[in-house]
């Protein structure tokens, strides 16, 4: 009898452990097809339904109305990744934009797309893995997305030629993605990176969200990390943006709203201190998460446009590595 009771207790503990891991995985990493809301129209509706932010909705609808070409690449782990290419002008400048966690290209890319279109830069807005029309259901907080970023850069060079000059930009997880990619062997075609409200590392943002949910991060994070490894097949040991930018050779500009309650403003300051390359920082008072452009459009436009112009005027280096 004692062995039976012990066996039942062990079984229940294992069952509880598995249930916790599944809950952690679904909460942090899993994105179902229903949640993804595949399609451009649904993306605009998501802006309307979730945010009711009129300027953002206007820009998203404006971007939706622009003529675009559906494009795709194959990721290193076999996923089809999708995006939209907007041909704005015949000058050979291209901006590639990456959206955030459980968001979409139109929501997070509408401000950056407006700046690019006004400047005459061609535009590639991608659906990150597990989002939009791209394959996959596991979000990896930049761990695998940074390699997708490099693959999109190589796609652009193959398509537009060796003289194309590329700017990388992102919001939230997209910002962390492009910063984490800065330590990879980027081709010299990449001349600048803009990152709006990035987090410092996957571990740091997950621990912060645990605390927001009332779960001590010392207790919650180990379960999240194990669920990522066992179910999502991704390691959260990646040191993230802070360590990546210590090896960056390309100029980097950070933008962050001072009232961001999702990704703390302090994370950008931590990243800023670590950047080894030329850098610029723009703080926007009163702006919440991902809304810096809308809280002070004039300043944001002026400063970000000036940074990009300076990057594009620099002669390309032979190699960053």
Q: What angle (nearest 5°) sits at the alpha carbon of residue 15, between those of residues 13 and 17?
A: 70
Gyration radius from the chain CA atoms: 20
Q: Which tokens go with 48?
A: 């309307």
How many structural domains is the chain composed of? 1
* Cα–Cα distance measured from residue 112 to residue 87, given in angstroms and rounded to the nearest whole number: 15
Task: From 192, 178, 113, 172, select the one nearest 291 (Cα to Cα).
Answer: 172
Does any domain span residue 222? no
Name every residue whose Cβ is closer than 8 Å to that of residue 124 and which is 6 or more positions away in sequence: 71, 83, 84, 85, 86, 94, 95, 96, 97, 152, 156
Does any domain span residue 111? yes
**14 dihedral zone (left: phi>0; alpha: psi -120 to 50; beta):** alpha
**Full residue range of the structural domain in which residue 187 is found:** 31-201+238-313
Q: Which tokens go with 54?
A: 């009129």
Residues paired with residue 124 on neighbouring β-strands, in sequence order: 85, 96
CB 99 within 8 A of CB 61: no
Task: From 203, 196, 166, 165, select the one nearest 179 (Cα to Cα).
Answer: 196
Task: From 273, 150, 250, 120, select the one nearest 193 (Cα to Cα).
Answer: 250
Most confident segment among 4-8, 14-18, 32-36: 14-18
Does any domain span residue 217? no
CATH of the domain at 275: 3.40.50.1820
Regarding predicted confidence, which is higher, 39 or 259?
Answer: 259
State the pTM of this model: 0.90
Residues 247-284 pLDDT 10s: 999 999 999 999 999 999 999 999 999 999 999 999 99
Does any domain span residue 76? yes
* Cα–Cα distance measured from residue 206 to residue 217, given in angstroms and rounded to the nearest whole number: 8
Does any domain span residue 188? yes
Q: Out of 36-50, 135-149, 175-189, which region has the weakest mean confidence (pLDDT)? A: 36-50
Does any domain span residue 88? yes
Strands laid side by side in the 252-257 sheet: 69-74, 80-86, 122-126, 93-98, 165-171, 190-196, 252-257, 279-284
Does any domain span residue 101? yes
pLDDT band, residue 317 (cuts 50/70/90): low
Q: Which tokens go with 254?
A: 């950070």
Does any domain span residue 320? no
């Amino acid at each position: 009898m004692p062995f039976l009771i012990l066996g039942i207790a062990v079984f229940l503990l294992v069952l509880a452990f598995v249930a916790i891991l599944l809950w952690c995985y679904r909460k942090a990493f899993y994105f179902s097809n229903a949640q993804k809301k595949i399609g451009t129209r649904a993306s605009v509706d998501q802006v309307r339904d979730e945010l009711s932010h009129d300027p953002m909705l206007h820009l998203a609808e404006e971007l939706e109305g622009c003529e675009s070409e559906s494009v795709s690449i194959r990721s290193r782990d076999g996923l089809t990744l999708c995006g939209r290419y907007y041909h704005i002008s015949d000058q050979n400048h291209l901006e590639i934009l990456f959206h955030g966690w459980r968001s979409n290209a139109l929501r997070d890319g509408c401000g950056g797309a407006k700046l690019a279109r006004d400047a005459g830069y061609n535009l590639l807005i991608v659906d990150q893995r597990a989002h939009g029309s791209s394959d996959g259901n596991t979000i990896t907080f930049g761990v695998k997305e940074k390699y997708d970023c490099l693959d999109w850069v190589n796609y652009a060079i193959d398509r537009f030629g060796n003289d194309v000059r590329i700017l990388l930009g992102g919001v939230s997880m997209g910002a962390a993605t492009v910063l984490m990619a800065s330590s990879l062997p980027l081709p010299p075609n990449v001349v600048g990176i803009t990152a709006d409200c990035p987090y410092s590392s996957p571990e740091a943002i997950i621990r912060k969200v645990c605390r927001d949910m009332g779960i001590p991060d010392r207790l919650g994070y180990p379960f999240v990390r194990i669920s990522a490894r066992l179910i999502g097949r991704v390691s959260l040991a990646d040191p993230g943006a802070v360590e990546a930018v210590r090896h960056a050779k390309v100029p980097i500009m950070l933008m962050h709203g001072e009232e961001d309650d999702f990704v703390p403003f302090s994370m950008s300051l931590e990243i800023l201190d670590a950047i080894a390359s030329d850098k610029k920082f723009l703080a926007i008072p009163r702006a919440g998460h991902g809304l810096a452009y809308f809280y002070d459009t004039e300043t944001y436009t002026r400063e970000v446009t000036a940074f990009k112009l300076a990057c594009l005027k620099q002669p390309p280096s032979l190699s960053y590595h």
